[in-house]
Amino acid sequence: MPAPQLLIQPAEPNSENAADQLRAQPSPDLTTLLASVPAVDPVAARARAYVQAAKAPSTQRAYRSDWRDFERWCQGRNLNTLPTAPETVGLYIADLAATHRPATISRRLTAIAKAHQAARLPSPASLDHPEVGETLKGIRRTHGTAQPGKRALLTTDLLQIIAHLDSGLLGCRDRALLLTGFSGGLRRSELAALDLEDVAWVEEGAVLTLRRSKTDQQGRGRQVAIPRGSHPATCPIAAVKAWLEAAQITTGPLFRAVDRHGRARVAGLHADSVGTIIKRAVSRAGFDAKGFAGHSLRAGFATQAARNGATVFDIMRQTGHRSVQTVARYVREAQIFHDSPAQRLGL
């Protein structure tokens, strides 16, 4: 698709209605403006970089993947993609409903809307269009909106998993990563992004500075306390220090890949690798890896803390959750038998 042109043309100096004509023209967005600026312009290059940084890389990848899927679907049916019609979008999500969750379908709609927005076209994916909104509503009523969650790793699970870790450098790294992620209630992306410079050692344990996270895309940062454990074998502080010493890490990424020769690499882990590490560790301990993912550590922290009497707000302070409803779900699941009226039935 050719680059969009500027919609505002310079007004004639002597035109009495020049200001009115300018106000009547639609204002171009930043992407449109950048398309008219030479690629070698350093200011334009910085602006493009800032536009690119407006969304997390994972979000951008998801949108690109979703848009490619919609393009393939339309091409197979000889339908237009840009612009496309609400009727086409309604048919597309109806076709997706048999194999995709409503949450995924909603994200596909967002990708279609973003593509049209970038092209300065009205969105055909708006829920205001009955062909889209009513179809999605029917999908949700038919298939439900509950998303299958991954199993939470509880303390007893973690003890069993740690006991089955490899004894080499890889096992040393995995022990430190699992205990830190669990005790901190951290996301996989937060674990992968940690640098040694983000760790402040204190008498009580360590304070981690999270520079950026899923709910902090602006980079305000927050601090997370990692207390010392009661037992040397499961103390996250002892585990991290043992890993740093064994891997000879003095600066840079805290958690790194270990090559086939048993040496720590220079680059840090990718966030996706955290889920792979967890799956491998739970498999060694005899669990079914399909039930676990990178979120299992964070979910496990919230669930175990709730079982042990922590309040919703205590958990939120550690995990950085912004939604009380999200954390309350962990509390309800953890305390489902606590003071249950079903225990008063005399059965």
- Enumerate the active-site residues: 187, 214, 295, 298, 321, 330
Question: What 3-state DSSP class applies to 17?
Answer: coil
CB 181 within 8 A of CB 302: no
- Other beta carbons within 10 Å of 155: 16
Structure tokens, 116: 């049209």
Whether the ω angle into residue 38 lies within 30 degrees of 0, i.e. cis, is no
- Other beta carbons within 10 Å of 258: 18
CB 66 within 8 A of CB 107: yes
CB 1 within 8 A of CB 119: yes
CB 73 within 8 A of CB 92: yes
The CA–CA distances, whole Å, from 13 to 18, 26, 180, 257 equal 8, 20, 66, 64
User: Any alpha helices (H) in the chain, and if so which ranges?
Assistant: 18-24, 30-35, 42-53, 57-75, 86-96, 102-118, 130-143, 155-163, 169-184, 188-193, 236-247, 271-284, 296-307, 312-319, 324-334
- Other beta carbons within 10 Å of 247: 19
